[in-house]
Amino acid sequence: MTTTMQWLFVAALAGLPLVMHDQYFFHVLIMMGIFTIGAMSLNLLLGYTGQLSLGHVAFFGIGAYTSALVSLGFDIQITETYTFVLAPKPAWFSLICSVTLAGLCGWFIGKLSFRVRGAYFVIVTISFAEVVRLVALNWVDLTEGPMALNNIPPLATALPGFDSGPLQRKIVNYYIVLGVAVFSFLVIKRIIQSRLGRAMVALRENEALAKSVGIDVTRYLVLAAIASAAIAGAAGGLYAHYVRIVDPDVFLFIYTVTMVIMVVSGGKGTLAGPVVGGVIFGLLPEFLRGHTVPEVQWMIYGALMILIVYFLPQGIVPAVNKWWTAYRSKRDQVVATNVSLGRNPQEQEG
Amino acid sequence: MNTHSMAGSPVLAVNNLAVHFGGLVAISDASFAVDEGEIVSLIGPNGAGKTTAFNVISGFLRATQGEIVYRGQRLNGLRPHEIAEAGLVRTFQKTSIFGNNTVFENVLIGLHRVSAASTWETLLALPKVRRRERQLRDEVREILDFVGLGHRGEELAGSLAYGEQRLLEIAVALAAKPSLLLLDEPACGMNPTEALSFRKLLSSISERRITILLVEHNMRMVMGVSDRVVVLNHGKIIANGPPAEIQKNPEVVRAYLGHGAQKHA
């Protein structure tokens, strides 16, 4: 049932350009999609291994800067006499670079901090994001600092024949983001439903027991960090090629918070959770913008978040699953008395 | 069950083991061995150092002195998962399961070690990996039937009755395909009926050519199932022999009942 629903959802999104012809509408969906990819990547760490990365935007920003720099070309003076020069590369290539470099940073952070977990990991990730932001701000020769990197080549030009108008470009960008989102979802799903995901859940649930049956806890945490960072890097790369301007503000803490909110409200540790959260908190600000002043917008935003966390502490997706299971078992009991209840729906209360 | 003679070298040898916590001596100069196919019980009054010994053998604690040799391989300094990888699997004194997962998933996680496939093979979901996943599901059912939880697969582990949770722990440990199983008070908290069927389970585990080292307080069970009993007191081994001999050993009686008991014994 769920797999069918997932594909129906994707099909509906893919069909949208047939009925909608509003540029702004697609802009909102593209930004929503990019942050949903970020939220999905965060969920791999926060939801499945239980490690809160509060500097997740670092990987997003590293992806954005890598994509920008590789596609624009750059030079770094390494010694007095030697300068490393990189000629501008195609956008698709720079996107791959952004995934790779972000993944490497994930590996580094994972190796560095997973020996001390929990609160220490949170601190390391926050610091990491801040350090990267300061580098982006101050290494003016490379990153232009607060002047930002401009005129980043768009990914959309890579597809010939579509470059006819702003709406068409939006739609091509939309499909690219949708494609990357679906691909990321499938990668995460594959990880979660394999022995890799089982090992991650095991170390989240009971680390001592996980070790005692031969699970190398550090290895799977690092693996999750690599995958998570690489996907966040992809989201950052998409952002750079879409917005076409990158400044140190991509490292702002608020973006990490947005991703955390998406994951927690949608349901951490569920595949659909970050998607549901991403859709809600990606569309909500745009929806509210038409109706109220920004201050009221943010208050509604905050209030809704508190309500969700208060009434659905597990998030929206687990709550809906619970209702669905309860509804189905009630219905089945009428048909046959001998039903297996499956997961006890009362168990996750509170 | 007596297979002493067929074993050339022991499965597990603990040589001159000492564990200190700061100034506190938890274990001092303890040596004992477990032979292939044996059920050996490690007993002693509370605080004697039994669980500490388990923690050191399974890599959760470091030995201050001495060495632990498993099938000729020195275990000192190895991490817990590496020791499990070698085939030495333990359970915990306090019930330790994956409470938010189903019983089935618990055992599936336990099969991690035997599900071996490289990360890339798994990510690409090669046919080989998918076939293996199906086999694993059969193995889970087989293990659950073996411990008597076959009908509980879909329940949340945390919602099982206490005695069943303890059986699930054994199932998870068995899933890791141990050749030496360390059980830390597995029957603690079981009612007499459960304890009796647990004894039978121990024997059938032993019949699967799994060597067992047991820490247990239930003396009836210890004396009933063990080939040999090792007695720890204040971190020292005070006796080591067949159950009948241990029951008559005056030092053991003194350790359990205190000095005054000797006069009346």
Residues B154, A199: C-beta atoms closer than 8 Å: no
| Secondary structure class of B25 (helix, strand, coil) | strand
Instruction: Please tell me which residue, B223 or B4, carries the higher pLDDT value.
Output: B223
- B219 with B119, same domain? no
| Beta-carbon separation of A347 and B159 below 8 A | yes
What is the ipTM for the molecules in this complex? 0.87
Question: Does some domain include residue B93?
Answer: no
Per-residue confidence (pLDDT) for residue A42, from 0 to 100: 94
Q: Is residue B191 part of a domain?
A: yes
Q: Which two tokens stand for residue B65?
A: 């002195």
Q: Do B172 and A209 touch (CB under 8 A)?
A: yes
Rounded CA gap, B200 and B180, in Å? Answer: 18
Residue B66 has pLDDT above 80, yes or no: yes
Same-domain pairing of B187 and B262: yes
* Encoded tokens for B162: 């206490």
Q: Where does chain A have alpha helices with state H?
A: 2-19, 23-43, 56-72, 91-113, 119-138, 140-143, 166-192, 195-205, 207-212, 217-243, 253-266, 273-289, 294-311, 316-335
Helix (H) or strand (E) holding B241: strand B236-241
- Looking at the domain assignment, is residue B92 inside a domain? no
> Which amino acid does the sequence have at B79?
R
C-alpha torsion sign, points B15, B19, B23, B24: negative
Q: What is the C-alpha to C-alpha distance for residues A270 and A43, in angstroms, rounded to an integer? A: 8
First and final CA of chain A: distance in angstroms?
Answer: 27
CATH number at residue B237: 3.40.50.300
Please give the structure tokens belonging to residue A222: 């690092």
Separation between Cα atoms, residue A105 and residue A53, nearest integer Å: 13
- The residue ranking higher by pLDDT, B47 or B210, is B210
Interface test with B, best of A205, A212, A325, A328 (most B CBs within 10 A): A212
From B139, B156, B176, the end of a domain falls on B176
Amino acid identity for residue A299 in this structure: M
Q: Is A320:A327 a contact under the CB 8 Å cutoff?
A: no
* Residues paired with B90 in a beta bridge: B182
Binary contact (A198, B176; C-beta < 8 A): no
Nearest to B112 among A206, A214, A343 (CB): A214
Residue B42 has pLDDT above 50, yes or no: yes
Q: How far apart are CA B91 and CA B55, in angstroms?
A: 10
Domain assignment of residue B102, yes or no: yes
Location of structure tokens 């500097």: A55
**In B13-126, alpha helices (H):** 50-57, 80-85, 103-110, 119-124
Q: What is the pLDDT of residues A69-110, one digit of tens each?
A: 998 887 777 777 787 777 787 888 889 999 999 999 999 988
Question: Which residues form the domain of B10?
Answer: 1-87+178-265
Contact assignment for A195 to B122 by CB distance below 8 Å: yes
Residue A168, token pair as written in the block: 């068409």
Tell me the whole-structure pTM to 2 decimals.
Answer: 0.85
Q: Residue A129: what pLDDT?
A: 92
- Structural domain count, chain B: 2
Q: At what angle do helices A56-72 and A119-138 cross, to 10 degrees?
A: 30
The DSSP output letter for A241 is: H
Q: Is the per-residue pLDDT at B201 higher than 50?
A: yes
The reply to whether B182 and B264 lie within a common domain is yes
Residues B210 and B79 in one domain: yes
Length of chain B (residues): 265
Q: Residue B8's pLDDT is what? A: 59
CA–CA separation, A254 and B215 (whole Å):
53
Report the distance separating Cα A34 and Cα A31, nearest Å.
Answer: 5
Average pLDDT over residues B175-204: 90
CB contact under 8 A, A191 and B123: yes
Same domain, B82 and B182: yes
Whether the pLDDT of residue B5 is over 60: the answer is: no
Cα within 13 Å of Cα(A18), Cβ side: 5
How many Cα neighbours within 13 Å face the side chain of A60? 33
Contact call for residues A226 and A234 (beta carbons, < 8 A)? no
The upper half-sphere exposure of residue A261, i.e. CA atoms within 13 Å in the direction of its Cβ, equals 21
Amino acid at A344: N
Supply the pLDDT for residue A337.
53
Same domain, B188 and B215: yes
Out of A210, A212, A347, whose CB is closest to B90?
A: A212
Task: Give the count of beta carbons closer than 10 Å to the beta carbon of residue B262.
Answer: 12
DSSP state of A271: S
- Nearest CA-CA partner of A42 in A235, A292, A291: A235
Q: Nearest-CA neighbor of B67 among B115, B16, B141?
A: B16
**Residues in a beta bridge with B233:** B236
Phi, psi of A83 (to 5 degrees): -120, 125
Fill in the amino acid letter for B116.
A
Are B99 and A205 a contacting pair at CB < 8 A? yes
B224 and B243 both lie in a single domain: yes
pLDDT, tens digit, for every residue of A250-309? 888 888 888 888 899 898 889 988 999 999 888 887 787 777 777 787 788 788 888 888
Asked if residue B191 and residue B70 are part of one domain, the reply reads yes
Contact A37, A229 (CB under 8 A): no
- Residues B18, B61: contact at Cβ < 8 Å? no
* Cross-chain Cβ contact B91/A191 below 8 Å: no
* Structure token digits, residue B200: 């039978």
Which of B70, B79, B81 best tests the A interface by mutation, with the highest count of A CBs <10 A?
B81
Q: Which of B98, B102, B112 is facing A206, going by the closest CB pair?
A: B98
Spatial separation of the C-alpha atoms in residues A194 and A224, rounded to whole Å: 13
Mutation target vs B (from A213, A217, A349; most B CBs, 10 A cutoff): A213
Tell me which residues of chain A have a pLDDT lower than 50.
Answer: 158, 338-350
pLDDT at B169 over 90: yes
> How far apart (Å, rounded) are the C-alpha atoms in residues B107 and B146?
12
Tell whether B72 and B194 lie within a shared domain: yes
Searching chain B, which residue's CA lies closest to the CA of residue A186? B123
